[in-house]
């Protein structure tokens, strides 16, 4: 894509629809309230505003890149199509029985989330495929015909088919699908061996059902969007950002909408990854803090870390296990209920607690004066002097410190203690989540650089670094529309996956080579839809484990034809990956491969390296503010500096507050901030961390 092309990224979030338009003169942005009844309207309005600001014609746009939380919302709010599920006899209740555990140990009144498809809409076929793909019980054509009738009589808009071991042999799923297609061509149809051909029935069934459930809605929305764009003169192709952080065509997205679930947050991770590359950083922790939640993601070698499954629509305080696990490629993120709106309360033991309940944007924090009575993180930041009541959000939102004080009084602590406790606890919660995430990935977080964005991040990032032992932090410019900007940096990519169970000592190169070629061809075809002829990379991942273990680890292997001689190389690659994660290997145990993944991505253009400064002349302060430095447990005199004054190579030592229209960056006493060539702030610990 030439640099002077006009491209636009659009992110529909829960509150705002963000537009970022890249043009030869720079970037124009717009922020519009999300319109739930006609989401495409906010896109049209935002694009029109941004194009006007940039002084370009809408017809000059050559590419529209879109990501949205609408798919996730449809799942959370159960607003999808009337869906039928067809499965193997004896397995009607897999999605209702879930993992048979309780995600909260001590709650006697725990309720489990309801399945997307109620039991009376789940149908079974007398058939069975074995683990090795052989047919144990053939599927009789008469049973297929009877099923077609049952589905037709049920008045369904969408059908999902998920049969046991269909990843190993899709014949019965195909037989059923073809019969349905012939009889009811208008029915939205999703089959598990296409949508998620991987071992483990619960996530595979969840995934194919979620896909069917949202498909009519998403297809209709995307169709409307393309039409309406055409009407206002935007004839450019529309591409969607998928959860794995790459672009797919709008047609692919309409057929496999389950791939879009995390597209907005993935954009944020790509935004951070782009700065990681520009600054030559191989190990980055991205930290995105908004009004309700904080998201944390590891970025290694310039790419966000991905996973093959995640949990969507958590119903209970963001708690692990309270949602629905779907297996689709995703940028791996930890999301916790910690944001500016997070509410503080006192528990049964008189202990202060923060979040996950949030005051959101309505009524919002108490200090907004819009009726919020409970103390929030934003109220605490105001009381600690970290926010300027007179110039919050560029002076557009007035803040009322006395209302924050009144709210803090409800905690029966002094305002100072309450505010200190609230911010310290919310920072603890975020730091703890980041540490556990690092441990789960076998990583040592101290050596990472943090890239912080989102409205709340610059207020908290420095303290978070202190808690995590991180000594360098980057705060990019334009962080308010980070996801939409990230969309513009995303490659075209597609990940194909296959369940193919083998013990390494019985490795069959021919079978694996055939499956890998098939996956590569599938992935390339999807990438061709948006980027025909563009140079690309292919990544091959084997999911491997010791025999008897429950979970696999990803092992990256060279993408080439294998021979029997490669067993030793694959074993060595597995052991290296295992040692990285767990610190040791176990001799004498057999090794298994369960699933394969092939990811094809277009090569990213090289990023212009940012001009980096480690120190520089001190910039003059425009004033002095006092804020509470948590690590020192005392209020300090801080230099106040406007962000635009921190030109490349200029420095301010903490304690300092760097102010800009949307937010403020707190530089604690332990850090210095230095302006960088690309407009980033770089915060460096004054002395090396202990």
Partner 1 sequence: MKPPTGIDYQIMWNRLIAVVEEQATTLIRTAFSTSVREAGDLSAGLFDEDGRMMAQAVTGTPGHVNAMAESVTHFAARFGPQETFDGDVFVTNDPWHGTGHLHDFTMVTPVFRNGRHIGYFASTAHVVDIGGRGFGPDGQEVFEEGLLIPITKFADRGEVHPLLIELIRANVRTPDQSVGDLYSLAACNAAGERRLHAMMDEFGIDDLAGLSEFILETSRDATRAAIAQVPDGVYRNTMEVDGYDAPVRMAVTLTIAGAHLTADFAGTSGPSRFGVNVPEVYTRAYACYGLKCAIAPLVPNNTGSLEPFDITAPAGSILAAKRPAPVSTRHVLGHLVPDVILGALHQALPGVVPAEGASSLWNVQISARASDPDSGLPGREILMFNSGGTGARPAHDGLSATAFPSGVSTMSVEATEHVGPIVVWRKDLRAGSGGAGAQRGGLGQVIEIEARAGYDLYVNAMFERVAHPARGRAGGGPGAAGRVELSDGTPLKSKGRQKVANGQRLRLSLPGGGGHGDPKARARDAVARDIAAGFISAQTAKTEYGYDE
Of 52 and 319, the one with the shorter C-beta distance to partner 1 is: 319
Residue 87 vs 449, nearer CB to partner 1 = 87
d(CA 422, CA 113) in angstroms, rounded, equals 31
Residue 485 neighbours by CB under 8 Å, 6+ apart: 9, 20, 27, 267, 271, 478
- Verify binding: residue 587, partner 1, rule CB under 8 A: yes
Q: Which is nearer to partner 1, 505 or 644 (CB)?
A: 505
The binder of partner 1 chosen from 396, 633, 687, 688 (CB under 8 A):
633
Q: Does 460 bind partner 1 (CB under 8 A)?
A: no
Of 174-182, 214-222, 246-254, 344-352, which segment contacts partner 1 by CB under 8 A?
Answer: 344-352
Report the site for partner 1 in 522-551 (rule: CB under 8 A). 546, 548-551
Q: Which is nearer to partner 1, 47 or 422 (CB)?
A: 422
Q: Which of 26, 55, 106, 535 binds partner 1 (CB under 8 A)?
A: 106
Tell me, letter by letter, the H, E, C secondary structure of 339-386: CCCEEEEECCCCCEEEEEEECCCCCCCHHHCCCCCCCEHHHHHHHCCC
In eight-state DSSP terms, residue 655 is: S
**Which range in 207-215, 347-355, 452-460, 472-480 contacts partner 1 by CB under 8 A?**
347-355
If binding is defined by CB under 8 A, does position 581 make contact with partner 1? yes
Query: Toward partner 1, which CB reaches closer, 145 or 511?
Result: 511
Q: Give the C-alpha separation, 1 to 9, whole Å.
A: 14
d(CA 358, CA 343): 5
129 vs 194, beta carbon nearer partner 1: 129
CA distances in angstroms from 331 to 264, 265, 449, 666, listed in the order given: 11, 8, 18, 29
100 belongs to the binding site for partner 1 (CB under 8 A): yes
Task: Determine which residue in the list 85, 318, 368, 420 makes contact with partner 1, applying CB under 8 A.
Answer: 420
**Shortest Å distance, C-beta 175 to partner 1:** 20
**Do 273 and 303 form a contact (C-beta atoms < 8 A)?**
yes
User: What phi and psi, each to the nearest 5 degrees, are found at residue 169?
Assistant: -160, 115
Quote the least distance from Cβ 134 to partner 1, whole Å.
10
Q: Does the footprint of partner 1 cover residue 4 (CB under 8 A)? A: no
Using rule CB under 8 A, residue 140 touches partner 1: no
Question: Which range of residues in 276-284, 402-410, 426-434, 532-540 is near partner 1 by CB under 8 A?
Answer: 426-434
State in angstroms the smallest separation of the CB of 365 from partner 1: 21
- Do residues 339 and 436 lie in contact, with contact meaning Cβ atoms separated by under 8 Å? no
**35 conformational bin, left if phi > 0, alpha if psi -120 to 50, beta if neither:** beta
Q: How many C-beta neighbours within 10 Å does residue 433 have?
A: 18
- Exactly one of 78, 82, 114, 351 binds partner 1 (CB under 8 A); that residue is 351
- Pick out residues in 213-232 that bind partner 1 (CB under 8 A): none
CB of 10 to partner 1, least distance (A): 38
What is the spatial distance between Cα 359 and Cα 326, in angstroms, rounded to a whole number? 29
Told to check if 442 binds partner 1 by CB under 8 A, we report yes
- Please check whether residue 276 is in contact with residue 268, taking contact to mean a CB–CB distance below 8 angstroms: no
Looking only at the bridges linking them, the beta strands covering 303-304 and 294-300 are antiparallel
Q: How far is the CB of 464 from partner 1 (least distance, A)?
A: 13
688 binds partner 1 (CB under 8 A): no
Nearer Cβ to partner 1, position 87 or 243?
87
Give me the residue label for tokens 């010791």: 546
Sign of CA dihedral 393, 394, 398, 401: positive
Q: One symbol per residue from 78 to 97: x for binding partner 1 (CB under 8 A), - otherwise; what is it? A: -----------xxxxxx-xx
Is residue 258 a contact partner of residue 274, using CB atoms and an 8 Å limit? no
Q: Which helix (H) or strand (E) segment is 263 a member of?
A: helix 263-278
Q: How far is the CB of 289 from partner 1 (least distance, A)?
A: 18
With CB under 8 A as the contact rule, the residue among 467, 559, 612, 647 that binds partner 1 is 467
Q: CB nearer to partner 1: give 435 or 536.
A: 435
> Please, how many CA atoms are within 13 Å of residue 318, restricted to the half-sphere of its CB?
16
């Amino acid at each position: 894509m030439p640099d002077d092309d006009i491209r636009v990224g659009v992110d529909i979030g829960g509150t705002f629809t963000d537009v970022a338009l890249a043009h030869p003169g720079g970037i124009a942005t717009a922020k519009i309230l999300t319109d739930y009844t006609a989401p495409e309207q906010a896109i049209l309005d935002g694009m029109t505003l941004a194009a006007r600001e940039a002084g370009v014609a809408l017809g000059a746009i050559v590419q529209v890149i879109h990501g949205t939380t609408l798919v996730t919302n449809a799942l959370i709010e159960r607003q999808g199509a009337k869906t039928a599920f067809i499965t193997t006899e004896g397995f009607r209740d897999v999605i209702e029985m879930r993992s048979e555990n309780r995600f909260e140990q001590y709650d006697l009144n725990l309720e489990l989330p309801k399945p997307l498809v109620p039991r009376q809409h789940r149908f079974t076929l007398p058939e069975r495929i074995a683990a090795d793909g052989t047919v144990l019980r053939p599927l009789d054509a008469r049973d297929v015909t009877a099923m077609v009738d049952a589905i037709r009589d049920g008045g369904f808009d969408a059908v999902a088919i998920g049969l046991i071991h269909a990843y190993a042999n899709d014949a019965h799923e195909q037989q059923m699908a073809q019969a349905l297609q012939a009889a009811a061509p208008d029915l939205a149809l999703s089959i598990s061996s296409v949508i998620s051909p991987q071992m483990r029935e619960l996530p595979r069934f969840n995934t194919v059902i979620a896909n069917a459930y949202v498909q009519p809605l998403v297809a209709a929305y995307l169709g409307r969007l393309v039409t309406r764009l055409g009407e206002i003169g935007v004839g450019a192709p529309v591409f969607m950002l998928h959860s794995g952080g790459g672009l797919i065509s709008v047609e692919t997205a309409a057929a496999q909408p389950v791939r879009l679930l995390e597209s907005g947050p993935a954009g944020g991770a790509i935004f951070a990854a782009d700065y990681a590359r520009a600054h030559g950083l191989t190990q980055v922790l991205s930290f995105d803090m908004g009004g309700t939640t904080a998201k944390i993601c590891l970025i290694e070698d310039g790419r966000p870390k991905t996973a093959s499954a995640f949990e969507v629509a958590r119903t209970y305080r963001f708690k692990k296990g309270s949602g629905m696990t779907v297996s689709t490629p995703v940028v791996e993120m930890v999301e916790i209920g910690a944001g500016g709106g997070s509410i503080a309360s006192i528990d049964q033991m008189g202990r202060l607690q923060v979040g996950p309940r949030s005051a959101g944007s309505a009524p919002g924090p108490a200090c907004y004066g819009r009726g919020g009575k409970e103390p929030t993180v934003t109220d605490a930041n105001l009381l600690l002097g970290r926010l300027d009541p007179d110039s919050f959000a560029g002076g557009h939102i007035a803040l009322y410190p006395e209302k924050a004080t009144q709210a803090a009084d409800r905690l029966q602590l002094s305002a100072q203690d309450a505010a200190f406790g609230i911010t310290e606890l919310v920072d603890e919660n975020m730091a703890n989540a980041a540490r556990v995430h690092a441990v789960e990935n076998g990583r040592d977080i101290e050596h990472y650089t943090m890239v912080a964005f989102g409205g709340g991040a610059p207020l908290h990032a420095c303290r978070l670094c202190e808690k995590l032992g991180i000594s360098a932090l980057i705060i990019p410019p334009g962080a308010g529309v980070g996801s939409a900007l990230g969309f513009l940096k995303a490659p075209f990519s597609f990940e194909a996956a296959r369940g193919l169970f083998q013990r390494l000592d019985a490795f069959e190169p021919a079978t694996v080579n055939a499956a890998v070629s098939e996956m590569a061809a599938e992935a390339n075809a999807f990438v061709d839809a948006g980027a025909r002829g563009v140079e690309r990379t292919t990544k091959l991942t084997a999911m491997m484990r010791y025999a008897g273990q429950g979970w696999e680890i990803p092992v990256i292997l060279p993408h080439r034809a294998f021979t029997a001689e490669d067993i030793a190389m694959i074993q060595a690659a597995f052991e290296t990956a295992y040692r990285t994660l767990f610190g040791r290997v176990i001799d004498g145990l057999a090794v298994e491969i369960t699933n394969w993944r092939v990811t094809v991505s277009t090569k990213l253009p090289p990023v212009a390296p940012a001009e980096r400064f480690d120190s520089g002349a001190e910039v003059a302060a425009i004033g002095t503010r006092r804020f509470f430095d948590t690590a020192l447990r005392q209020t300090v005199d801080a230099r106040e500096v406007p962000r635009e004054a921190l030109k490349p190579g200029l420095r301010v030592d903490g304690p300092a507050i760097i102010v800009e229209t949307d937010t403020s960056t707190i530089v604690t006493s332990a850090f210095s901030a230095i302006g960088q060539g690309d407009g980033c702030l770089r915060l460096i610990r004054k002395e090396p961390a202990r």
